[in-house]
Amino acid sequence: MALQIAAFLISLTVFCHAEVPETSHPISDQIYGKYIELSMNLTILLKDTAIEEAKIHQLAKDIVSSDKDEEKIQRVLDKFMNNLPEEQKKDFGRLYFDKM
């Protein structure tokens, strides 16, 4: 019995430490890459505003999730703008719409 337990523990150790090839999905990688790029660009563009960085990252995620549908993207932008204080709305409108 002790031998079976030892064999099980050894096989479990080998299984846990085995090299597992990393898998990726090209489309998921592209979407993630687009999110990172947009998020970084928006963060740089809006760095001098009082808009929270977390909100900027969420905006990038929502835009990328809209799958290039202009109506969805416009709804995302409208919702984002409506949730900002008045001063931040002005900053966002001035920077985002003038640069994009």
pLDDT at res. 59: 92
Neighbours of 99 (CB within 10 A): 10
0.85 cut: is pTM over it? Answer: no
Distance from C-alpha of 73 to C-alpha of 58, rounded to nearest angstrom: 13
Q: Within its chain, how far is the Cα of 40 from the centroid? A: 10
**Model pLDDT, residue 31:** 83
* 3-state SS string for 47-97: CCCCCCHHHHHHHHHHHHHCCCCHHHHHHHHHHHHHCCCHHHHHHHHHHHH
DSSP state of 46: T
> Which single residue is written with the structure tokens 């150790």?
13
Residue 48 has pLDDT above 70, yes or no: yes
Q: What is the pLDDT of residue 13?
A: 58
Question: Which pair of tokens denotes residue 3?
Answer: 């031998």
